[in-house]
Amino acid sequence: MPAIEILGLEKTYHVGFWRKQAKRALHPLQLTVAEGEIFGFLGPNGAGKTTTIKMLMGLVFPSGGTARVLGGSISDPAVRAQVGFLPEQPYFYDYLTARELLEYYGQLSGIPGQERRQKVKAMLERVGLGEAGNVQLRKFSKGMLQRVGIAQAILHDPKIVIFDEPMSGLDPMGRREVRDLIEQLKQEGKTVFFSTHILSDAEALCDRVAILHQGQLRGVGAVAELTANVQGKIELIWSGTTAPAALKAISAELHVSGDTVRAVLAEDRQESALDILKQSGLRLISLTPVRSSLEDYFVSQVGPDKISAGAGS
Amino acid sequence: MKASGKVTIVAGLLLLGSLAGSVVLLRKIDRMRSHASLEEVLYISSPKALKRLSLGYDGLLADIYWTRAVQYFGATHSQGSEHYELLAPLLEITTTLDPHLLVAYEYGANFMAAKRPNGAGQPEEAAKLVERGIESNPHEWRLYYNLGFIYYMELKDYPKAAAAFSQGSQVSNAHPFLKVLAAQMAQHAGDAEMARMLWTTTYESTQDHMIRANALAHLRALRVDQDITAMEERIEMYQKRTGKLPESFADLIQSGLLPGVPLDPLGHAYKLMDDGRVEVRTPDDLPFIEKGKPLGYVPPKVPKFLPSD
Amino acid sequence: MNRRVLHIARNTFREAVRDRVLYNLIAFALLMSGAAILVGQISIDIERLVVINLGLTAVSLFGVVIAIFIGIGLVSKEIDRRTLYTILTRPVRRWEFITGKFFGLAGTLLVNTLCMAVGVFAALLYVSHRFQRADGWVLVALYFIVLQFLIITALALLFSAFSTPLMSAVFAFALFVVGCFSEDLRGFAAMAHGAEKWLATAAAYVIPNFSALNVITSVAHGQPVSGQLVLYNTIYALIYVLMALSGAVLIFERRNLK
């Protein structure tokens, strides 16, 4: 049984004063997340990632389609008890201390008293807030709040963890910690589904990723599978201060630095590039294939125009 | 994924059920408290203080108290109660809050002054109310008319009534009838004709449907009395001429004393009794009549002048 | 009762206390003691009257303002700040959230009113040196005031389930003011004609009936309150709360939490 099945979920918002104008936030989406995998949900800001996650969590009602979580419906409290959720830029009751907040969430998740106190204590230690447990959240920094957010999402030992932009707004150390934590969750056998617009995080962590752009799915699969189909590139370096016009025309990038020139071009242009160099009498210093990254794939799908372009909320 | 159907049904049923329940209870509470909320006016010792407390919203508050007064009178009247203790304080508060609410003075003249059971039977207080109204609105001829009306109808103080009418007739835009009323007062005080003129003026000059209905009932009663007086004269003439009472109106018509069977103001034919008296057919619908009531007639507790609702 | 409803109610109460809502009691205490001392200078007859009138009116107004502003904040603040996301994605049903919020605020208001009631009675004791039989009716008036708070809280929740905080506050306050004249409104409706009459009557019956719940003036004059009115008012208030909460649940159940 897959952990999450998204079966044609779609969402159209009606905007404007009279709600006449329809705005498509998500086109019908098909996606399956297997149990025990780390699944990255990628896309530029406004691609529809958060809308999808909110529909998945039952916060927003879809215009069409359905989703199944652990084979059931998210409207079933028993299913929700098996899911942990971290919203984007979480904000918590700032009049509570971290311990009180986790206690409260533990109560709502139905964890019995003695077990709850132990879990809260252990969880505070785990996310590095052991010292700050009795401090009101209004005194917390953004990074500390993110830790609280993660703590509340995994407090009740859920089978599935859904994180919406867990790394955003964190410093490099914080991002590293979150990455380690996601790895740990996988070790514990949990399914992790998280959205991000930071590709390196996804590339380093995910078993599989899906790419969403302007409310449409642009690709889904393992990182290696996706990048395999991207056309490879080569890097040429020769000595000289200029590039022949013919070479300029086929290069994607061209840099002159001191007495060497560096050009990046598509793999299938390699032969013609070498011919041009030979004819021009220029001396080749090196030729190296460039490994294609998730970013290359992403750009090939989303377009290089801009990673933050697009519509939606 | 969707809103829970079960919750929707339960909440929907609860909503409808509680809506119905609240209406039922409201009706119970209202019936119980028919005057409870009004009785608070008895505690308002100073309407002026209330005006200050209204924070400048005295116009709105006056309207509310005015509605309460009308409601109170209507409800008390239709219940057949003769007690209108709250009418005077309600009208006083109303006119203190808004001294230009003319209809409130008019109400006082018609219903506070009138004898029980048709009114509160407080003509002196009513006259004071209207006099205060004149102080605040010296250019409203209606108020002088109302004052004269109270003096004439209830207090039978004809000189004062004449004075009020003639003062009113000097206000610009005054109804020309005021001059006539003032002039005729000396000569015709106490006449049925005088009363008819007054009720007609009330009827024509008011906007309030209750006052209008009351005036109309009085006008009808005056006509019935007039009709019957005239018919009794003819019957007497017939008796003198023939030595016996007419058996029906047909006898009177044949002898040329009546042009036809007379109808009362509601369109019903009068009844000629064996003893030569004339009766109306629906005395309950003609309150305030002096003549034409059946022998031993007990009028309903409340004069039925209100438009039936 | 449902345990999650209880937890949410308790947290709501804790929020109100930590957000220093109960500080209004200080203002109230100052008002009451000032009034008691000042009125003591006047005459014996009127001082009880003034203390009861002023005390109960202040209890009512303070409570109404708290009920509206916190009641409104309850749901819309949670949506605005997205704190709701981490609640509703747990095994908490939306109706449980609404109900819990209601009980939490009702509890806050109850505690607040209890403290104020102590203040009113203390001031009464100060001016008349002993309690009288008629003071019992002041308790009934206070009870009616609490019933009013319950209705307003439920209405505030209803409005905040679909409207912005500011609009919700305006709606709730307007309904409170209009509700104070609801008996007059039914009077207006009775005097209207035709289609207007139907509309006015419908409106007059939906608007909460605060007229019958306000017995401050008659209680200040030592007038008794009939047991039947206490019974009917209690049932009415509970039914009205149920109605408003059902409406709030119906709306909230469908709301997209953007």
Domain ranges of chain A: 4-82+158-228, 233-291
Side chain identity, residue C171? F
CA distance linking residue A251 with residue B12, whole number of Å: 68
State the nearest Cα–Cα gap between C19 and chain B, in angstroms. Answer: 32
CA distance linking residue A116 with residue A68, whole number of Å: 29
Q: With a cut of 90, say whether residue C29 has pLDDT above it.
A: no
Per-residue pLDDT of A287-311, as tens digits, reads 888 777 777 777 777 775 544 433 3
Its CATH architecture, for the domain A233-291, is 2-Layer Sandwich (3.30)
Q: With a cut of 80, say whether residue B146 has pLDDT above it.
A: yes
- What residues of B are in contact with residue A61 (Cβ under 8 Å)? 1-3
- What residues of B are in contact with residue A67 (Cβ under 8 Å)? 1
Contact A66 B4 (CB under 8 A): no
Contact B11 C95 (CB under 8 A): yes
Mean pLDDT, range A108-133, rounded to an integer: 92
A167 or B79, which is more confident: A167
Q: With a cut of 70, say whether residue C45 has pLDDT above it.
A: no
pLDDT at B77: 76
- Asked, as a colleague might, if the bond just before B117 is cis with ω within 30 of 0, I would say yes
| Best residue in A108, A146, A161 for a mutation probing chain C (most C CBs within 10 Å) | A108
- What residues of B are in contact with residue A73 (Cβ under 8 Å)? 1
Confidence bin at B308 (pLDDT 50/70/90): very low
CA distance linking residue C110 with residue C14, whole number of Å: 14
* Chains touching chain C, criterion 3+ CB pairs below 8 Å: A, B
- What residues of B are in contact with residue A58 (Cβ under 8 Å)? 1
Q: What is the percentage of chain C residues whose pLDDT exceeds 90?
A: 38
Chain C positions with Cβ closer than 8 Å to A: 3-4, 7-8, 11, 14-15, 18-19, 81-83, 85-93, 254, 256-258
CA distance linking residue A205 with residue A208, whole number of Å: 9
pLDDT at C152: 94
CA distance linking residue B78 with residue C71, whole number of Å: 44
Structure token pair of residue C221: 């004059």
Contact C91 A80 (CB under 8 A): yes
Q: Is A8 left (phi over 0), alpha (psi -120 to 50) or beta?
A: left
Contact B29 C254 (CB under 8 A): no
Q: What one-character-per-residue DSSP string does A116-161 give? A: HHHHHHHHHHHTT-TTTTTSBGGG--HHHHHHHHHHHHHTT--SEE
Per-residue pLDDT of C120-156, as tens digits, reads 898 888 888 888 877 889 999 999 999 999 999 999 9
Q: CB within 8 A of B15, min separation 6: which ones?
A: C243, C246, C247, C250
- What residues of C are in contact with residue A80 (Cβ under 8 Å)? 89-91
| Best residue in B1, B4, B23, B30 for a mutation probing chain C (most C CBs within 10 Å) | B30
A116 touches A106 (CB < 8 A): yes
Taking each helix axis from N to C terminus, what angle separates A113-126 and A98-108, rounded to the nearest 10 degrees? 130
Going by the DSSP 8-state scheme, the letter that residue A267 receives in this structure is G
Per-residue pLDDT of A206-248, as tens digits, reads 999 999 998 899 889 888 788 776 777 888 888 888 788 888 8
Contact B3 A61 (CB under 8 A): yes
Mean pLDDT, range B218-225, rounded to an integer: 89
Cα nearest neighbour of C15 on chain A:
A95
Q: Considering CB atoms only, which of A57, A61, A93 is closest to C89? A: A57
Per-residue pLDDT of C168-213, as tens digits, reads 888 899 999 889 888 888 877 877 777 888 888 888 889 999 988 8
* Chains touching chain B, criterion 3+ CB pairs below 8 Å: A, C
CB pairs below 8 Å between B and C: how many? 91
CA distance linking residue B254 with residue B245, whole number of Å: 14
- Residue whose pair of structure tokens reads 């207080």 in the numeric block: B125
pLDDT at B22: 92
Q: Considering CB atoms only, which of C86, C91, C258 is closest to A60? A: C258
Confidence bin at C167 (pLDDT 50/70/90): confident
pLDDT at A310: 37
Contact C184 B26 (CB under 8 A): no
- 3-state per-residue secondary structure call for A283-312: EEEEEEEECCCHHHHHHHHHCCCCCCCCCC
Note the ipTM here: 0.87
Cα nearest neighbour of C239 on chain B:
B18
Residue (of C224, C61, C69) closest to C157 by Cα position: C69
- Strands B278-279 and B271-272 turn out to be antiparallel
pLDDT at B56: 74
- What superfamily would CATH give domain A4-82+158-228? P-loop containing nucleotide triphosphate hydrolases (3.40.50.300)
Confidence bin at B198 (pLDDT 50/70/90): confident
Contact C15 A95 (CB under 8 A): yes
- What residues of A are in contact with residue C257 (Cβ under 8 Å)? 54, 59-60
DSSP reduced 3-state for B209: helix
Chain C positions with Cβ closer than 8 Å to B: 93-95, 181, 183-184, 186-188, 190-191, 205-206, 209, 211-212, 217-218, 220-221, 226, 228-229, 232-233, 235-236, 239-240, 242-243, 246-247, 249-250, 253-254
A74 touches chain B (CB under 8 A): yes
**Please, what is the Cα angle at C141 between C137 and C145, to 5 degrees?**
165
